[in-house]
Amino acid sequence: AQSVTQLDSQVPVFEEAPVELRCNYSSSVSVYLFWYVQYPNQGLQLLLKYLSGSTLVESINGFEAEFNKSQTSFHLRKPSVHISDTAEYFCAVSDRGSNYKLTFGKGTLLTVNP
């Protein structure tokens, strides 16, 4: 069965500092990996995804994530964060073995302080 572990429940950083949100997954088959962002009282917005090909994927707002198969990780990074990046971030996985159901990690609350 697939599962996702987000090691950090909360990550406070100062504005313009770099940040890494960690995500590890468990699956015995090939996977699709996703990062979603959720602002208060809103739905989930797709930030970026890995399906195949290049292991480094980027979003339009400066986030990137790298798929590392050997370490079963898909960490999210941004070199310089803004106040507006404050939100909950969820890592998710779907795989063929689970009939492609999307399974989420517990989330990481990123708080960007001035």
Partner 1 sequence: DAMVIQNPRYQVTQFGKPVTLSCSQTLNHNVMYWYQQKSSQAPKLLFHYYDKDFNNEADTPDNFQSRRPNTSFCFLDIRSPGLGDAAMYLCATSRARMSYTFGSGTRLTVV
- Residues of this chain that interact with partner 1 (CB under 8 A) are 32, 34, 36, 41-46, 49, 51, 90, 94, 99-107
Smallest distance from the beta carbon of 79 to partner 1, in angstroms?
Answer: 26
Burial 43-71 (b: 16+ CB within 10 A, else e): eeeebbbbeeeeeebebeeebbbebeeee
- Residue (13 or 44) nearer to partner 1, CB: 44
Smallest distance from the beta carbon of 47 to partner 1, in angstroms?
Answer: 12
- Residue (80 or 111) nearer to partner 1, CB: 111
Smallest distance from the beta carbon of 103 to partner 1, in angstroms?
Answer: 8
User: Across the strands, what pairs with 58?
Assistant: 64
Smallest distance from the beta carbon of 106 to partner 1, in angstroms?
Answer: 5
All residues at 6 or more sequence positions from 67 whose CB lies less than 8 Å from its CB, including other chains = 33, 50, 55, 56, 57, 73, 74
Tokens matching residue 13: 């950083």
CB contact at 8 A, 34 and 2 = no
- Residue (63 or 107) nearer to partner 1, CB: 107
- Residue (82 or 101) nearer to partner 1, CB: 101
